[in-house]
């Protein structure tokens, strides 16, 4: 039966785009090297019609499909399981920008377009596509939307969901839904677009999207500032919001150990401020002028310094210095990967609860696992922390993960729930948090999600075992 299916797939997309042998690890292993499966075949369609034909062929043979974009997801949702029965559907050949409409401030791109290439296309027209994250050189817009990615500009522009006006989707039955209209208002029934965004490939295949663009800011200011405590980091956020309003486009926090790891693994990256328990990266985008931006930004930092909210600050004087500051922040996950396997918690909380959460959870973890190393950083402006745990120095990271991950997760997620938070802020559920989701989400919500899955994918062939 699989020979018959493979023959159909070869006839559909060409033999060069149906891979069954050789080293398939680029598709079969996830970015963190935590999940590794085996695909029946890696199939690389080059058009929406080919995606639809592949989905129909797999449906006819009862063969499950795992969609994959850049394979940078962090929850094990983009690689096949170990059965050797799943087709890995790579969307990377769907990589055309189909249209750009400056008057409507929209861009229509195929799912396999690399995020950075979409940013560059918008910039070439003097426009901005604000979705930005450290994996932007390799993640795809299809993957960004399927996981409702967040990133560093959510504070001002929202998640991937808020940046998308329309979708083209191949359904589980192999039909094509064209919902690409770039409308800002459309109340014609259920919001199908929002159903597919964040569905992690479990309901259908996103093949194209119409995205929102914005005017480029006239000036951007970036600074690093050291703060004495998480309480003061939150106070700085309040001050920045009051003084800059919607001009505040980035507000990231990094604990001392996360920057120590960057210092250790990337010593060539200059850190302009001395080590501190907490460092904040702020960004302001201004629609008026350089002079206006600088006056507001420096006024904010002076007021913060006077009030004791920050202890030191370094303002980027050039675009290169600004990029270098962001590069420091974005190097933290890479430094963590160099350090070894770790336990990741991508969580969100009401901003006001974050200091209490961090203080009590740090204490609870350190009491139970003396010497535990906490890599705590993230998008504080969105209430989103990457509250990650590295094994105590000298202990095997793999052994610690195997023996203690569940117990560590219980401490962290119990605290997240007690503070009214979420166990997944922006990375999604995938396989990593599937079982945790059942424990933490209300039975009513789980029932509604299962009903939607059953209605749209009754044979359960779209990325099975992920999310639900």
Distance, in Å, from the CA atom of 107 to the CA atom of 141, rounded to the nearest integer, reads 12
Residue the block writes with tokens 């050789």? 22
Nearest distance, CB of residue 463 and ligand FAD, angstroms: 5
Nearest distance, CB of residue 149 and ligand FAD, angstroms: 3
Nearest distance, CB of residue 114 and ligand FAD, angstroms: 8
Distance of alpha carbon 194 from the chain centroid: 17
Q: Please identify, using beta-carbon distances, which residue of 232 and 390 lies nearer to ligand FAD.
A: 390
Closest CA relative to residue 93, chosen from 162, 17, 198: 17
Q: Please identify, using beta-carbon distances, which residue of 46 and 392 lies nearer to ligand FAD.
A: 46
Nearest distance, CB of residue 464 and ligand FAD, angstroms: 11
Q: Which residue is nearest to ligand FAD (CB)?
A: 143
Closest CA relative to residue 354, chosen from 294, 280, 264: 280
Distance of alpha carbon 439 from the chain centroid: 23
Cβ atoms < 10 Å from Cβ of 43: 25
Q: How far is CA 425 from CA 42, 342, 383, 441, in A?
A: 30, 18, 9, 14
Q: Please identify, using beta-carbon distances, which residue of 111 and 316 lies nearer to ligand FAD.
A: 111
Distance, in Å, from the CA atom of 76 to the CA atom of 464, rounded to the nearest integer, reads 12
Nearest distance, CB of residue 377 and ligand FAD, angstroms: 10
Tokens of 417: 């729930």
Q: Please identify, using beta-carbon distances, which residue of 95 and 404 lies nearer to ligand FAD.
A: 95
Nearest distance, CB of residue 82 and ligand FAD, angstroms: 16
Distance, in Å, from the CA atom of 368 to the CA atom of 38, rounded to the nearest integer, reads 38
Nearest distance, CB of residue 121 and ligand FAD, angstroms: 17
Q: Please identify, using beta-carbon distances, which residue of 108 and 147 lies nearer to ligand FAD.
A: 147
Nearest distance, CB of residue 445 and ligand FAD, angstroms: 19
Distance of alpha carbon 429 from the chain centroid: 11
* Local structure of 252: helix, strand or coil: strand
Nearest distance, CB of residue 124 and ligand FAD, angstroms: 22
Q: Please identify, using beta-carbon distances, which residue of 433 and 466 lies nearer to ligand FAD.
A: 466
Which residues does 182 contact at the CB level (< 8 Å), separation at least 6? Answer: 101, 104, 106, 108, 165, 166, 210
Q: Please identify, using beta-carbon distances, which residue of 159 and 232 lies nearer to ligand FAD.
A: 159
Q: 240-271 in b/e burial notation, b at 16+ Cβ within 10 A? A: bbebbeebbbbbbbbbebbbebbeebbeeeeb
Q: Please identify, using beta-carbon distances, which residue of 27 and 357 lies nearer to ligand FAD.
A: 27
Q: Please identify, using beta-carbon distances, which residue of 64 and 333 lies nearer to ligand FAD.
A: 333
61 phi and psi angles, rounded to 5 deg: -100, 5
Tell me the pairing of strands 176-179 and 164-171.
antiparallel
Helix (H) or strand (E) holding 11, with range, is helix 2-13
Footprint on this chain of ligand FAD (rule: CB under 6 A): 31, 66-74, 77-78, 91, 111, 133-135, 139-140, 142-144, 146-147, 149-151, 200-201, 205-206, 333, 426-427, 430, 463, 466
């Amino acid at each position: 039966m699989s020979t018959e299916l493979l023959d159909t797939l070869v006839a559909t997309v060409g033999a060069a785009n149906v891979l069954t042998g050789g080293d398939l690890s680029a598709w079969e292993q996830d970015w963190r090297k935590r999940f590794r499966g085996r695909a029946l075949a890696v199939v690389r369609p080059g058009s929406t019609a080919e995606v639809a034909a592949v989905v129909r062929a797999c449906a006819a043979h009862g063969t499950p499909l795992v969609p994959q974009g850049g394979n940078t997801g962090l929850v094990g949702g983009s690689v096949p399981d170990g059965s050797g029965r799943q087709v890995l559907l790579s969307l990377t050949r769907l990589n055309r920008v189909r249209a750009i409409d400056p008057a409507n401030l929209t861009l229509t791109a195929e799912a396999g377009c690399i995020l950075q290439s979409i940013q560059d296309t918008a910039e070439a027209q003097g426009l901005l596509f604000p979705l930005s994250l450290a994996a932007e050189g390799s993640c795809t817009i299809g993957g960004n939307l399927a996981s409702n990615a967040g990133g560093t500009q959510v504070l001002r522009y929202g998640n991937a969901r808020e940046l998308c006006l329309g979708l083209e989707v191949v359904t589980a039955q192999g039909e094509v839904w064209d919902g690409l209209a770039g409308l800002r208002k459309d109340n014609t029934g259920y919001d199908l677009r929002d159903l597919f965004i964040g569905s992690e490939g479990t309901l259908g295949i996103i093949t194209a999207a119409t995205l929102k663009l914005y005017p480029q800011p006239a000036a951007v200011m970036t600074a690093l500032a050291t703060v004495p405590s998480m309480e003061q980091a939150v106070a700085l956020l309040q001050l920045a919001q009051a003084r800059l309003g919607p001009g505040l486009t980035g507000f990231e926090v990094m604990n001392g150990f996360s920057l120590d790891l960057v210092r250790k693994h990337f010593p060539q990256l200059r850190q302009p401020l001395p080590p501190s328990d907490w460092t904040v990266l702020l960004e302001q985008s201004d629609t008026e002028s350089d002079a206006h931006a600088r006056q507001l930004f420096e006024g904010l930092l002076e007021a913060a310094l006077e009030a004791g909210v920050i202890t030191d600050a370094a303002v980027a004087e050039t675009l290169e210095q600004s990029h270098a500051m962001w590069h420091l922040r974005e190097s933290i996950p890479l430094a963590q990967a160099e350090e070894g396997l770790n336990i990741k918690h991508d969580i969100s909380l009401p901003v006001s609860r974050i200091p209490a959460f961090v203080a009590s959870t740090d204490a609870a973890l350190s009491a139970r696992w003396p010497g535990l190393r906490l890599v705590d950083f993230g998008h504080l402006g969105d209430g989103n922390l990457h509250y990650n745990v590295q094994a105590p120095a000298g202990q095997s990271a793999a052994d610690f993960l195997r023996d203690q991950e569940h117990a560590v997760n219980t401490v962290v997620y119990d605290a997240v729930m007690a503070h009214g938070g979420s166990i997944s802020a922006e990375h999604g559920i995938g396989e990593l948090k599937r079982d945790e989701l059942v424990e933490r989400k209300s039975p009513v919500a789980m029932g509604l999600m299962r009903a939607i899955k059953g209605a749209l994918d009754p044979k359960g062939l779209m990325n099975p075992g992920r999310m639900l």
